[in-house]
Amino acid sequence: MEKIERKWWKEASVYQIYPRSFMDSNGDGIGDLRGIIDKLDYLKDLGVDVVWISPFYDSPLDDNGYDISNYKAIHKDLGTMEDMEELIRGLHKRDMKLLIDLVVNHTSDEHPWFIESKKGKDNPYSDYYIWKDRKNNWESVFSGSAWEYCKERNQYYLHVFSKKQADLNWENKKVREEVYDIMNFWIGKGCDGFRMDVINLISKRFRDDNYKGEEYFFNGPRVHEYLKEMHERVLKGRNLMTVGECPGANIEDGLKFSGFNEGELNMIFTFQHMDVDSKNGKWDFKDFSLVELKKILSSWQEGLHGKAWNSLYLNNHDQPRMVSRFGNDSKYWKESAKMLAHVIHTMEGTPYIYQGEELGMTNLKMDIPGDLRDVESINAYNDLISRGVFTKDHMDEAIARKARDNARTPIQWDDSENAGFTKGSPWMKVNPNYKLINAKAEKEDGDSILNFYKKLLKARKEIPTLIYGKFKEYFKDDKNLYVFERKLADTKVISINSFSSKDLGFNIGEFLYEIGEDTSKYEILHTNMKREGFKDIYELKPYECLSLVKLNED
């Protein structure tokens, strides 16, 4: 039997909070730390073990806080350091842990290091950033050149994201020491781990000549050396949790970053499955194919098993809402939201729930460009239309489908004004569907998406097969069905998921027989329909999901 190394972060479920949109406690229209404190019992009741909070630090908010001007201070909109300490105590008291966002590929251009660095070539901070005499044709993820001219130095600085997010120079040892110092500061405050923003971008492959290519930002030559050093200096022996955000990482990279014996990170976020509805870049959208999505998800399951650890997600603050994207947010809203959750929570890896996902929150029908708040969408909209890359009609649809703002609308707590998020006027539009989709209504409805998530999380606590079982897929080429099993010793879970809006012929008893299983040993674990037994199922309903479990006989 294969050896299993139990770890708390493998058995945990994570909930991501985007603080400005979570809960406003003081009526200024902006979510804050006291708002999170007020909802800790909600999170505990949901059954999550770890709370990851997106940046809450001091920031000019060019990228909603992913542009940090002081790593050791709380943004005044969100509260104070005392609030943060109370929040950490509140989590720990409830046996939950805190994951903080470590954004150290870049800082804000208003960070004191950058303000000093800008002044000239001979000051202690001059090499904290990436300065060049000539720019090349690298493009920013947020449109336009990745280089910005600075008159004082007569040089250009690199910014892979907005021009207010200057890339740090990790080749400078002093920069790395600063990062370790920030990490130690927060470990001292009681934080239990780090979600590391674009951590595979910290080492770049420079060239002076003109060439395009994100591959020169990603997975650079020294990235593993830096992460091993960070592990050695800060993480080792501390039993913290780490997850690295790694756009552009494939399975091979995943094994390097998160391999059990590599001494780098516990797990990474890959983006391969988030690209299934793009052609040439995010705004060049297409409909996704289930076969392609399955192929990516399954290959990560197979490729990492026993060697590294997966993170499991279909949503975060940068992605449109999964039910609108991969499910059906009208007629089969409830069924498809549950089915997508079921896919994720019956796989191997650590599941991440993004705030509001557990309610089945949907994309926002935006007035474009008026409702846009996000620097990425605003820049892309202006840039791509004015350069004639896409028509206005195309961009209207691209934004509606893909904009990050879709994920950032305030959480829908109840059916009162502004969905109970704020007593003031919300910083961002509330999705008008809050009268139907909200936490209060779902709490009271035993059949709600919220209550389904609770069951999914609870089962992961009770059935080790769901955590450690080996993944095996069936019907790989089926365009509508995603079927897989998880096997641990002689226990098994079989997960059956329909992505179709039509009835699908599927004889479950016969399927079990064909794969050599004794139907009498199985019972239903999860269902999003009203199923009493499974032996007489010959047809799956639209977006039906069902898992069957066989436990040890004794």
Q: Report the C-alpha gap between 366 and 53 in whole angstroms.
A: 26
The CA distance from 311 to 313, in Å, is 7
Q: Which of residues 202-231 bind ligand TEU (CB under 6 A)?
A: none
- Smallest separation (angstroms) from Ca ion to the CB of 31: 6
Decide if 447 is catalytic: no
> Shortest approach of ligand TEU to residue 139 CB, angstroms?
13
Q: Which is nearer to ligand TEU, 99 or 198 (CB)?
A: 198
Contacts of 164 (CB under 8 A, 6+ apart): 60, 62, 63, 67, 108, 109, 110
- Asked if 77 is part of the footprint of ligand TEU (rule: CB under 6 A), the reply reads no
- Set 245, 318, 329, 405: catalytic member: 245
41 carries an active-site annotation: no
Nearer to ligand TEU, 182 or 512 (CB): 182
Which residue is closest to ligand TEU by CB? 66
Burial of 111 (0-12, 13-18, 19+ CB in 10 A): buried
User: Which option in Ca ion, ligand TEU, none does residue 26 bind, with CB closer than 5 to 8 A by kind?
Assistant: Ca ion
Which of residues 376 and 442 has its CB atom nearest to ligand TEU in the complex? 376
Q: Which does 197 bind (CB under 5 to 8 A by kind): Ca ion, ligand TEU, none?
A: ligand TEU
* Residue 531 burial (C-beta neighbours within 10 Å; 0-12, 13-18, 19+): middle
Is 376 one of the binding residues for ligand TEU (CB under 6 A)?
yes
> Which of 191/198 has CB closer to ligand TEU?
198
Cα separation, 444 vs 450, in Å, equals: 10
User: Among 22, 161, 186, 511, which residue interacts with ligand TEU (rule: CB under 6 A)?
Assistant: 161
For the beta carbon of residue 500, count every other beta carbon within 10 angstroms.
18
Q: Which does 247 bind (CB under 5 to 8 A by kind): ligand TEU, Ca ion, none?
A: ligand TEU
Given the residues 109, 192, 197, 348, the one annotated as active site: 197
Cα–Cα dist 125/118, whole Å: 9
Residues 265 and 417: their CA atoms lie apart, in Å, by 43
Smallest distance, ligand TEU to C-beta of residue 211, A: 20
Q: 34 touches which of Ca ion, ligand TEU, none (CB within 5 to 8 A by kind)?
A: none
Q: Which of residues 376 and 405 has its CB atom nearest to ligand TEU in the complex?
A: 376
| Window 12-51: residues binding ligand TEU (CB under 6 A) | none
376 binds, among Ca ion, ligand TEU, none (CB under 5 to 8 A by kind): ligand TEU
Provide the CB-side half-sphere exposure for 199 (13 A, CA).
Answer: 28
Task: Assign 3-state DSSP to the chain and report helix, strand, coil percentages, each to 5.
Answer: 35, 20, 45
Q: Rounded to the nearest whole angstrom, what is the least distance from the CB of residue 446 to ligand TEU in the complex?
A: 35
Contact status: 198 vs ligand TEU (CB under 6 A): yes
Q: Is 103 in the site for ligand TEU (CB under 6 A)?
A: yes
Rank residues 394 and 455 by Cβ distance to ligand TEU and give the closer one: 394
Q: What track of x and - describes contact with ligand TEU for positions 314 through 333 (by CB under 6 A)?
A: ---xx---------------
Smaller CB separation from Ca ion, 391 or 416: 416
| Distance of closest approach, residue 66 Cβ to Ca ion, in angstroms | 19
The HSE-up count of residue 336 (CA atoms within 13 Å, CB side) is 22
Q: What is the DSSP code (8-state) at residue 141?
A: T
> Which among 135, 97, 60 is positioned nearest to 241, based on CA atoms?
97
Is the omega angle on the peptide bond into residue 112 within 30 degrees of 0, that is, cis? no
Residue 462, exposed/middle/buried by CB under 10 A (0-12, 13-18, 19+)?
A: exposed
Under the binding rule (CB under 6 A), the answer on residue 247 touching ligand TEU is yes
Q: Mark residues 264-293: x for contact with ligand TEU by CB under 6 A, - for none.
A: ------------------x-----------
Q: According to the binding rule CB under 6 A, does residue 253 interact with ligand TEU?
A: no
Hey, how many other C-beta atoms are within 10 angstroms of the C-beta on 150? 18
- For residue 288, give Cα distances in angstroms to 169, 426, 496: 38, 33, 20
The site partner of 63 among Ca ion, ligand TEU, none (C-beta below 5 to 8 Å per kind) is ligand TEU
Q: How far is residue 2's CA from residue 4's CA, in Å, rounded to a whole number?
A: 6
Torsion over CA: 456, 459, 464, 466 (sign) = negative
Nearer to ligand TEU, 198 or 494 (CB): 198
Q: Which residues pair with 518 in a beta bridge?
A: none
Pairing mode, strands 147-150 and 155-158: antiparallel
How far is it, in rounded angstroms, from Cα 217 to Cα 27? 41
Interface residue with ligand TEU among 32, 63, 148, 167 (CB under 6 A) is 63
Q: Are strands 523-527 and 545-550 parallel, antiparallel or unpaired?
A: antiparallel
Out of 66, 113, 534, 543, name the contact with ligand TEU by CB under 6 A.
66
Q: Which is nearer to ligand TEU, 325 or 334 (CB)?
A: 325
Which CB sits closer to ligand TEU, 311 or 418? 311
Q: Does 405 bind ligand TEU (CB under 6 A)?
A: no
Q: Which does 52 bind (CB under 5 to 8 A by kind): ligand TEU, Ca ion, none?
A: none
Cite the DSSP H helix spans in 18-77: 33-38, 40-46
**CB of residue 195 to ligand TEU, shortest distance in Å:** 9
Residue 313 near residue 483 (C-beta atoms within 8 A) = no
CB of 13 to ligand TEU, least distance (A): 20
Are the C-beta atoms of residues 271 and 249 closer than 8 Å to each other? Answer: yes
24 binds, among ligand TEU, Ca ion, none (CB under 5 to 8 A by kind): Ca ion
Q: Which of 368, 267, 276, 356 is nearest to 317 (CA)?
A: 356
- Site membership for ligand TEU, residue 357 (CB under 6 A): no
CB of 205 to Ca ion, least distance (A): 42
Q: Are 483 and 461 in contact (CB under 8 A)?
A: no
Question: Which residues are near Ca ion by CB under 5 A?
Answer: 24, 26, 28, 30, 32
Binding site for ligand TEU (CB under 6 A): 63, 66, 103, 141, 161, 197-198, 245, 247, 282, 317-318, 376
Give the residue numbers marked as catalytic.
197, 245
